[in-house]
Amino acid sequence: MMLQQHLLFVLYSFCGIAIKEAATKNKVKGSQAQFPITQNVTVVEGSTANMTCRVDYNDNTSLQWSNPAQQTLFFGDKKALRDNRIELVRASWKELTISISEVALSDEGQYTCSLFTMPVKTSKAFLTVLGVPAKPEITGLSRPAQEGEDVTLTCTTSGSKPAADIRWFRNDKEVQGQKEVNATGRSFMVRSTIHLKVDRTDDGAAYTCVVEHIALGSLPHQVTEVLEVHYPPQVQIVRSVIVPQEGQYFKLECVSKGNPLPEPVFWTKDGGELPDVERMIVEGRDLIITTLNKTDNGTYRCEASNQLGTNRDEFTLYVYAKDFPGTTTDPNALTQPGPDHALIGGVVAVVVFITLCFIIVLGRYLARHKGTYLTNEAKGAEDAPDADTAIINAEGNHAHAEEKKEYYQGAARNVVHLKSENLGFANNYALRQEYVRCIM
């Protein structure tokens, strides 16, 4: 009996614990069920926003949506605010979803979902509306610019939220601009400016303004303006044959650039009109000489003008004889290599230089030896009583003068054996030199 009572007590204890745990779980579960759940929403201006409020468990308690002004939009499935843009999407004990079409920037704000329990439970959801930037506009190109002029280009876009970003491109290369942002109500106006000092390379350049914004995704707005620059002509003459020969067809092309385009161009020869209009034909910008001859030699000028100025280029024509060495009969072929005149001239210059150097050295050598002879002879003549002694003294010193004189007198006695017609010759300078060499 005691055993049975003990078993009943244990059984009741377990049942009590189980019932208590079940009650606790139901209580917690019920409190969770009474709390609404919402999420923030971001949409682009002009699109549709869906606002959803959920509860996991509900004991038949109504849900309600209110706008930022705390006006009730829907209470359960009942519409409370007359706004044709607001519609009911889904209504049940666990969910209340509404939609707002054609969303405007003014719809942005904090919306409230309420669960009417005691006390009332609420949850907040923020609706963010992105303002779409308007298509941009470029200003500052009211007329063609002139070369060297300062030009300011401005790109403007409005209605963006948050503020849009603007980028500039010259053809395909990005250039930096100066950005300015101004608030206009709930949106922003954005400007970007670039400053240019234009030249002829800017003529025909495409300047593009690109507006990027989160509301545009990967498809940004953009606008392009092509810059027109006026500049004076630039002229260059291009010939058809490198080495013109008699009898050839020959053409000079006048390549002229300018804006406005210079039309027409004017050809002259040696400062006057073309002398032979039958062989010299002007076609557009080209001067054609049908058959070259020596009378065509001269200076040809092409002149082009527009409203901003005049420019010209000249070409001096020399007509070679047919089959001239170093040329070819093919009018379109290049000349064959001829003698290297620069190398020949260099060799001649070196030869002339060496010859001049040799003449100068030889002259200085002869002048030096002649001066030595005259000087020595003068030295010997200073103290000599006669010419013979002077010669001896000139070739040696005074210490040996007497000895040399004796030899000289002995040699002079040999003159007796000379013929009479040779005696005069013995007195000349050459013979005396021979005597001096004999005694030295």
Q: Which has the closest alpha carbon to 117: 164, 62, 57? A: 62
The least confident of 19-28, 143-152, 278-287 is 19-28
Residue 373's pLDDT is: 46
Cα(395)–Cα(142) distance, rounded to whole angstroms?
A: 106
Is the pLDDT at 336 greater than 50? The verdict is no
| pLDDT tier, 425 (very low <50, low <70, confident <90, very high otherwise) | very low
Task: Give the H or E element holding residue 18.
Answer: helix 2-33
Mean pLDDT of the 353-367 span: 83
Which of 110-114, 238-242, 436-440 is the least confident region? 436-440
Local confidence band at 402 (pLDDT 50, 70, 90 cut-offs): low
Q: Is the pLDDT of residue 98 over 70?
A: yes
Task: Report all structural domains of the chain as residue ranges with CATH numbers, in order of start.
Answer: 36-130 (2.60.40.10), 137-227 (2.60.40.10), 232-317 (2.60.40.10)
Q: Residue 401's pLDDT band (boundaries 50, 70, 90)?
A: very low
Share of the chain above pLDDT 70, in %: 72
Lowest pLDDT segment from 143-152, 348-357, 395-404: 395-404
Confidence grade of residue 149 (pLDDT, cut at 50, 70, 90): very high
Cα 155-158-163 angle, rounded to 5 deg: 95
User: Looking up tokens 């002029």, which residue turns up?
Assistant: 149
What does the pLDDT average to over 377-402?
50
pLDDT band at 368 (very low <50, low <70, confident <90, very high): confident
- Average pLDDT over the chain, rounded to whole? 79
Average pLDDT (186-200) is 95
Got the DSSP string for 136-177?
Answer: PEEES-SSPEETT-EEEEEEEEEEEBS--EEEEEETTEEE--
Percentage of residues of the chain with pLDDT beyond 90: 54
* 46 — pLDDT class (breaks 50, 70, 90): very high
Distance CA 153, CA 145 (A): 12
Does the pTM surpass 0.75? The reply is no
Q: 204 versus 424: which is more confidently predicted?
A: 204
Confidence at residue 403, expressed as pLDDT on a 0 to 100 scale: 52
Q: Average pLDDT, stretch 391-395?
A: 49
Q: What is the pLDDT of residues 285-328, one digit of tens each?
A: 899 999 999 999 999 999 999 988 999 999 999 999 886 555 54
Torsion of CA 162, 163, 169, 173, to 10 degrees: -60
pLDDT tens digit string along 211-230?
999 999 999 999 999 999 99
